[in-house]
A and B are shown apart, each in its own frame.
Chain A
Amino acid sequence: MRVVIAEDSVLLREGLVALLREHEVEVVAQSEDGEGLLRIVGAHKPDLAIVDVRLPPSFTDEGIRAAVEARRRHPGLGVLILSQYVEPVYTAELLAGGEGGVGYLLKERVGDIPAFLDAVRRVAAGGTALDREVVAELVGERRAVPESPIDSLSPREREVLSLMAEGRTNNAIAESLVVTPGAVEKHVSNIFGKLSLAPADDDHRRVLAVLAFLRATDAA
């Protein structure tokens, strides 16, 4: 797996590089800003870009803008965003364009190394990895907008969808909800049915379900 990193803090960038190299993830290039990200993605054609939201020169959402542009130019590129803040609006923007995997994690999740590496591999392979706080904020206690298909989901199905958005497998979901994998499979197929997702590659449908979920939230 070939990875590029865009992060302006030397401390974090070097920490990430060391961490990934220890686990046989090849970091082919690094950049400190959004322009640099586009350059190294163009030059190295990596599987995954790990991007900090706040980058120079504007120190606002430069990283998101650069990541959206990188995905537009290089369909199939996985993008894993690291941020100090939970901002569903950014996740929705990322998901809106491109086909590759998408992840949005709070920076401190990096400390849980097995989970972080799992997210890195999943997003590089085209899956999703949304931080549980992002997901919690999306589902929240809020009563969703009327006319959204998400409304037709039962509370349990919502829970399952939330865990799917985090990028978990059926087995992991079953473990987390303390139910059998068979029960999870039933919930998942109910979700696909209620969201009118045609039978297709299961992984792809999972991403679509998450997308529908985010769109419903974004429309609020």
Chain B
Amino acid sequence: MTARLFSAAPPWLAGLWRLVPRLFAQIAGAAGALCFLVWALTGGYFWPAWVWLSLALVLGLIVARRWSRLAPPGPRRNLETIGALASVLCAYAFLNWAISGGGYFWPVWVFLGFAVVLGAYFTYLRNQGADLRSKGERELTERVETLTETRRGALDVQAAELRRIERDLHDGAQARLVALSMQLGRAEEGLADRPEIAALVRQARAEATAANAELRDLARGIAPPVLTDRGLAAAVEALGNRSPVPVKVDAALGRRPAPVVESAAYFVVAESLTNVAKHAPEASAAVTIRLDADTLVVVVADDGPGGADLAAGTGLEGLRRRVAALDGEMEVASPAGEGTRIEVKLPCGS
């Protein structure tokens, strides 16, 4: 109501209204000083204290109103208005009691009254599920929610895109190279009487085979087919079998996490096992994977010499970033002489 009134008022009046607290403070200061002067000349009971108290009350109410209007309209502003009013009136009651010479401490009833009103209103708001956050807080929360969602969306798109690339390679370039090998093989057969040309054709076929092998390694690095087909447990088993160090795999997953989480976990294991083979070739490793309601826990531990230097480009930093992008956590413990243990927790509420 007042807001509408003042927004409709001419600019000079609104400007004047903004000046009220300072103006009033100056007038009140002057009036207070004047009263003190009069009292000093006339003497007697120290009555200016009451004038000061009244002026302070009005000033307090003006400031309280200003302050509570900083909150966004709605329950939050109501709560702050009541709170500000309570502060000013409680202070007034206390000072009133003090100036009037103490005695029975009646302001306690004022305090209690406001406490009851504030408490009841707060409880009511909580039961209504009212949003008590300030505008800034609310905007920040919304922003974080949006960012989390879009980041996850981008990662999902990326994972799907990688799988698409792998499939395109498989159905496109790789299939053509296989067809090429086959045709070269048939050509070679027909060249039994031209051995020097047959040798050329055989060479060409070897090139096609090598190209296909390179594409296969590339595709496997992009999106391992066994991960797509059989899920994390099977893919990690395969990693363990492929590793030059002995690896014990214990993977128990009741369901399949989202593809982006699966592939992050897969690459954590792949990179960790590569590190074991590189830095602790005499060690053996154990991989444990557990999936509970909302977290995928991956642990890769080895009994090597430990003392892994995290800063020395072990690929761990890349893993950490990958895990962090999914709001996961990664812990690396590598005390000298006690092996290395990497634990990754990935949220996967679904």
Contact = CB atoms under 8 A, between A and B. Distances in A.
B170 interface: yes
26 contacts: A9-B175, A11-B176, A12-B182, A15-B182, A19-B185, A54-B170, A59-B167, A60-B225, A61-B229, A85-B216, A85-B225, A87-B225, A89-B226, A89-B238, A108-B177, A108-B181, A108-B208, A108-B209, A108-B212, A110-B182, A111-B181, A111-B209, A113-B186, A116-B185, A140-B241, A220-B247
Contact of A217 (B167, B186, B241): B241
Interface string A132-173: 000001101111110000000000000000000000000000
A56 B237 CA distance: 26
A60 B177 CA distance: 20
Contacts, number: 98
B253 interface: no
A15 B179 contact: yes
A11 B179 contact: yes
B282 to A, nearest CB: 10
Top 10 nearest A-B pairs by Cβ distance? A111-B181, A60-B229, A111-B185, A61-B229, A113-B185, A107-B178, A141-B244, A15-B182, A11-B179, A108-B209
Given A12-B178, A12-B179, A89-B234, A110 B243 contact: no
Nearest to B188: A113
A202 interface: no
A98 B229 CA distance: 23
Q: Which of B185, B189, B216 has the most CB of A within 10 A?
A: B185
B230 interface: yes
Interface string B197-216: 00000000100110011001
A59 to B, nearest CB: 7
A196 B51 CA distance: 111
A5 to B, nearest CB: 13
Q: Which of B216, B229, B230, B243 has the most CB of A within 10 A?
A: B229
B241 A137 contact: yes
A212 to B, nearest CB: 16
Contacts of B247: 220
A10 to B, nearest CB: 10
A88 interface: yes
B185 A112 contact: yes
Given A85-B216, A108-B209, A143-B246, A220 B240 contact: yes
B184 interface: yes
Contacts of B182: 12, 15-16, 19, 110-111
A11 B183 CA distance: 11
B216 A84 contact: yes
Nearest to A58: B229
Interface string B210-237: 0011001001100001101110001001
A145 B245 CA distance: 11
Contacts of A22: 186
B334 interface: no
Given A108-B181, A111-B185, A113-B185, A85 B176 contact: no
Nearest to B246: A143
Binding site of B, secondary structure by majority: helix, strand, loop or mixed?
Answer: helix
Interface in B245-301: 245-247, 249
A143 B284 CA distance: 10
Contacts of B243: 142
B242 interface: yes
Interface in B160-191: 167, 170-171, 174-179, 181-186, 188-189
A142 B246 CA distance: 6
Q: Which of A84, A113, A140, A143 has the most CB of B within 10 A?
A: A84
Contacts of B245: 142-143
Interface in A6-26: 9, 11-12, 15-16, 18-19, 22
A10 B237 CA distance: 33
Contacts of A140: 241-242, 244
A143 B185 CA distance: 37
Contacts of A12: 175, 178-179, 182
Contacts of B226: 85, 87, 89
A220 B241 contact: yes
Contact of A110 (B174, B178, B219): B178
A79 to B, nearest CB: 18
A87 B212 contact: no
A110 B245 CA distance: 33
